[in-house]
Structure 1
Amino acid sequence: MSDPQRPTVLVASADERHARDLQAALPDARVRHTADAESLLRDTHAFTPDVTVIHASLPSRVPIAEVLRMLRGRDDLTHTHHLLIGGNAAALMTAGADLATPAQDASTPALVYALLRRVRQTRHLTDRAAKLQTQLTAAEHDERVRDQLTHMLVHDLKNPISAVMGLLEVVMEDEGRIPDDLAELLRLAREETQHLLHLAVNMLDVRKMQAGKMHLDRQTMFAPMFSDVVNLALGDVGAGLRDRRVNLNFPLGLSPAHGDPEILRRVFANLISNAVKHTTAGGRVDIGARQTGDTLEFTVADDGEGIPAEDLPNLFAAFEQSRLTLHGRFDTGMGLAFCKLAIEQHGGRIWVESERGVGTTFTFTLPLGPEEDDDFAELV
């Protein structure tokens, strides 16, 4: 019984001795013989040789170069290599031969062996590429399923979470009838509900940005507008800031920048919330801006516990967070992942500096907007 793993060489020659000599020199290969061009074409339909050794003197009704072109044009012989012996080497190489030699001699087995090795390498790479493509297709399918699941989950969660928040706010408005201890529980319930809503929205938007499906509503933003955005972000963070000292520093002379106010509001809210998470009551949160060259640079700094150095490299990755936090609440890390993607989509960059026991500073940049024209300046 023949070994299917053994390479196959098809010798096309009027003289069968060429095949026998090659078989003797290549005992690890299966060498078969075919006597004319018509048999060559027929035999290669019956099986796929790894290498064909075609003699230019092979009986044929058409030129050998044309036979080569026919073999090269077949999809089932994509990996087959061809060695031409005799004839016009240059013309045969042009027609599709991989190698050509004047005559079958002692060097022929080495040429055939070289082609067999090339075929083996090519097939190995092709098989590997096919496996990788299969894995990529499966990964893309899984990614689509995750995206659809995330989208469905977030949309199904947003409405009931918003409803719970609204009901809690209605109850909290009736302060006179609620005991102090119950009011504190209601406040905590509202904070946790708002946190859950932020997690869900961040998760959805991170997936959108990663897929390139979120588009920014850019506007020309001046210093007062940035101050308004930060104040809105402080309101989003909510009661967590009531026992923190917050300092704002937005110079009025800042040049304008292009940005999406709503997205930047969420960036600030995430960074401020992170500062609250790493500080205790009475802690300080400083929020500022300055112009550096052709960018605006914004900072959110705290004097809290700081972040361990080993956590910093992956801090902006989804599902990553510092292992050392004061609040003890599990977080997905989606907030900082959202910040990174949002700032990069604005054309800026974001980074963090932290020292244990001293505090943490998050910094991000936005490119300046175009210079305002004279007409616009007169209107201002």
Structure 2
Amino acid sequence: MLRRVQKGLIPHLLYRLEVLLRFFSRRRGFWLRCLLCWLIGCLALSNDEITSYDQRFQLRGDQKTSPQIVLITIKQSDFAMIYDARTNFLDNMSEVTDITDSFFWNKPLWSELLLRILRQNPQSVGVTLYFGDNIGTVRMTPEDQRIFLDPRIVWASTTNSLERILTPVFTNRDHNNLGSNELRRDEDGVVRRVFPQRAEMPHLVEKITGKKFPTQLAGLAINYRGSARVFKQYSLSEIIYDELPANAFTDKIILIGAETSSAPVYMTPMGTLSRTEILAHITDTVLGDKWIKRLSFVWYAAGFFVLMLMAVFVITTYPQSVALFFILWIGTLLAALSAWVFDTFYFWSPAFSPFVLLATSWIIFIGYQATKIERQNFHLQQEQEYLAQLEQLKNNFVSLISHDLKTPIAKIQAIVDRLLTQHSQDAELGQDLKSLRLFSDELNRYIQSILKVLRVESRDFKINKEVADINEIIEEALQHLRPLARERGIQIHTALEPMFSVEFDTTLLKEVVINLIENAIKYTPSGGQIEVISHESEEYVHVLVKDTGEGIKPEDMEKVWGKFTRGSDQDLRTKGTGLGLYLVKYFIELHGGKVTMESKVGLGTTVAFTLPLDAEEDEVLV
């Protein structure tokens, strides 16, 4: 049983795969464009490397830093009293281009500085200056050892050109009061990352915080919180002369540094910073676990694929202006979301490359849409030409047939009239001849109706307006139709209000009135009544034709205005082409008027039309 299921499953899967391949093959142009947009987006994404953090830092500006970090900056001028005895030293200090760490060594001064700091019980103290072989031999008393070898103090170590670790003078026996102060520059000379150090020599920040860096061979991006002076700083003179607030160093992490040249020597994304300030930013990142996180390239590429599909859907579904609004809105939303996530959760998501993807999708698929529309317009134009030829062929055929039928019908009617005159005494034959005459009249009306429809639907049809009285048109129509009404036993009453002359096409309006009254006669039983009313309002002329016929069903009210359409129950009761009301509505709307109908089954029907008094002077072309 399992083998039969497996045998049936493989052909089914192959069939599904074949269908999928056929689908992609038929729309390969579309999918190739999608692939091109995605590849361009991924290429832009690959260039969004760690240097993209520079713009993020600069745009967000200075941020709140940890209040636990305090900086002590020793300036060159603080050592003026020490070097005052040296002839011309201070006068030539401005010419010094590289003042080393040893310049800031003075045992009594450092002893006093550290003692004042330790008295406030800080969490840890990090000395970022290297004091090793560069300061020579230092003789220390037990009191000096108690201060300089305090376990809360971490002294900076460094490496020489041979990558050999250089330890400071104040290294204890266990070498556990040392930390590397190394800062590496990128190829453009900017300090952006911090690198884990050797196991035997951890980083200075790791020692003063008691936390390890996450392991990452490529280096960890420093989450810079702002430019210079974002951390609380004190000068050496403020400490020596007790100008500090109470408990300024209690439970704080202290970083002691100095100006080692006439200007800061480290370039960062936030401008030039001293080594101490950069180490403070690293400390702040470690304390708040603010390491910048990012996904692998595969996840971003997958997200770009979804974004590309969304952009293509918008561009190919909505109008161009709406699609452009959505594309700009999506790009702006992604940029704002990227900035918010970066500032709040320290998670990096690209902002520039999505704009590249959206712009590329817009350019490529707007061109694709234009080509598609142009192709559709070409096919539509061909189809319109074909339909125009077909319509012309139909009109020519119907016109030819109708014209050719009019001549034999006229001959038949003439022969019938002659026979009626010759055999008026033969009642049976006379009745048959009258029926033949009636049928020929109906056939002639059908042909005339078809010719009228063809004429008004032709491209060169136009109405010819002239000033006339609508009541005269009504009287002419009644004069033509009263004999038919008397024959059917129907009374016609009129209530025609005297009116000013109106500009309209008399031939078309006469056809309208004849069709309405003729319809009323046709659908009104013997003994019924028809009322024709006309009156004038401020802006319109109103004409109403009321009958006492059977009425029209509600579901047929809209259909009766169509071409070759009649009521659902009239096909077997009365004869007609279904063109009368279609022509009425068409002719009235050509004049800028409106036709309405009210009907109740068993009570009758009222058809009314209105004509504007201020009709346009120009002829209406159809």
Q: TM-score, normalised by structure 2?
A: 0.39
Counterparts of 1:240 and 1:166, CA distance in 2: 25
Give the corresponding residue for 1:14.
none
Q: 1:176 to 1:160 in 2, by over 3 A?
A: closer
Contact 1:348/1:365 (<8 A) preserved: yes
Where in structure 2 are there 5+ consecutive unaligned residues?
1-24, 45-351, 616-622
1:177 paired to 2:422: no
Counterparts of 1:299 and 1:22, CA distance in 2: 70
**Cα shift at 1:215:** 4.0
Q: 1:353 to 1:217 in 2, by over 3 A?
A: same
Counterparts of 1:108 and 1:364, CA distance in 2: 60
Where 2:558 maps in the other structure, the secondary structure is helix
Task: Select the residue among 523, 538, 545 that pairs with 1:278.
Answer: 523
Counterparts of 1:223 and 1:23, CA distance in 2: 72
Equivalent residue runs for 1:204-283 within 5 Å? 204-222=451-469, 225-234=472-481, 239=484, 241-251=486-496, 253-283=498-528
Equivalent residue runs for 1:295-334 within 5 Å? 295-325=540-570, 328-334=573-579
Query: What is the identity, as a one-letter code, of the residue corresponding to 1:202?
Result: S
Give the corresponding residue for 1:203.
450
Give the corresponding residue for 2:113.
none
Counterparts of 2:452 and 2:424, CA distance in 1: 40
Where 1:170 maps in the other structure, the secondary structure is helix
Query: What is the identity, as a one-letter code, of the residue corresponding to 1:350?
Result: V
Give the corresponding residue for 1:164.
412
Equivalent residue runs for 1:55-66 within 5 Å? none
**Cα shift at 1:246:** 2.5
Q: Tell me the alpha carbon deviations over residues 49-77 of structure 1, each in whole angstroms, 9 at most, x when there is no partner.
A: xxxxxxxxxxxxxxxxxxxxxxxxxxxxx
Q: 1:226 to 1:315 in 2, by over 3 A?
A: same
**Cα shift at 1:356:** 0.8
Q: 1:200 to 1:25 in 2, by over 3 A?
A: same
Contact 1:317/1:337 (<8 A) preserved: yes
Contact 1:298/1:365 (<8 A) preserved: yes
Task: Select the residue among 179, 184, 192 that pairs with 2:439.
Answer: 192
Contact 1:305/1:357 (<8 A) preserved: yes
Contact 1:233/1:268 (<8 A) preserved: no
Task: Select the residue among 32, 50, 53 that pairs with 1:7.
Answer: 32
Contact 2:529/2:548 (<8 A) preserved: yes
Contact 1:351/1:362 (<8 A) preserved: yes
Larger Rg: 2
Q: TM-score, normalised by structure 1?
A: 0.62
Where 2:570 maps in the other structure, the secondary structure is coil
Where 1:177 maps in the other structure, the secondary structure is coil
Query: What is the identity, as a one-letter code, of the residue corresponding to 1:142?
Result: L
Where in structure 1 are there 5+ consecutive unaligned residues?
12-20, 27-104, 371-380
Q: 1:350 to 1:190 in 2, by over 3 A?
A: farther
Return the structure number with greater relative CO, CA threshold 8 A, min gap 6.
2
Where 1:297 maps in the other structure, the secondary structure is strand
Q: Tell me the alpha carbon deviations over residues 264-323 of structure 1, each in whole angstroms, 9 at most, x when there is no partner.
A: 332222222212332222222222222233332222221111111111113222111111
For this pair of structures, how many residues does the alignment match? Answer: 277
1:127 paired to 2:372: no
Equivalent residue runs for 1:66-145 within 5 Å? 110=357, 112=360, 114-145=362-393
**Cα shift at 1:334:** 1.5
Counterparts of 1:265 and 1:171, CA distance in 2: 33
Contact 1:244/1:285 (<8 A) preserved: no
Give the corresponding residue for 1:74.
none
Give the corresponding residue for 2:399.
151
Counterparts of 1:338 and 1:187, CA distance in 2: 29
Contact 1:308/1:324 (<8 A) preserved: no
Give the corresponding residue for 1:63.
none
Counterparts of 1:171 and 1:217, CA distance in 2: 41
Q: 1:225 to 1:240 in 2, by over 3 A?
A: closer
Q: Tell me the alpha carbon deviations over residues 14-72 of structure 1, each in whole angstroms, 9 at most, x when there is no partner.
A: xxxxxxx969959xxxxxxxxxxxxxxxxxxxxxxxxxxxxxxxxxxxxxxxxxxxxxx
**Cα shift at 1:128:** 3.0
Query: What is the identity, as a one-letter code, of the residue corresponding to 1:299?
Result: L
Contact 2:474/2:510 (<8 A) preserved: no
Alignment RMSD (CA, Å): 3.5
Where 2:424 maps in the other structure, the secondary structure is helix
**Cα shift at 1:127:** 3.0
Q: Tell me the alpha carbon deviations over residues 218-253 of structure 1, each in whole angstroms, 9 at most, x when there is no partner.
A: 443336623531234316xx6465123232314362
Contact 1:223/1:251 (<8 A) preserved: no
Identity of aligned residues (%): 21
Where 2:524 maps in the other structure, the secondary structure is coil
Contact 1:199/1:335 (<8 A) preserved: no
Give the corresponding residue for 1:357.
602
Of the structure 1 ranges 122-131 and 355-364, higher mean CA displacement relative to structure 2 is found in: 122-131
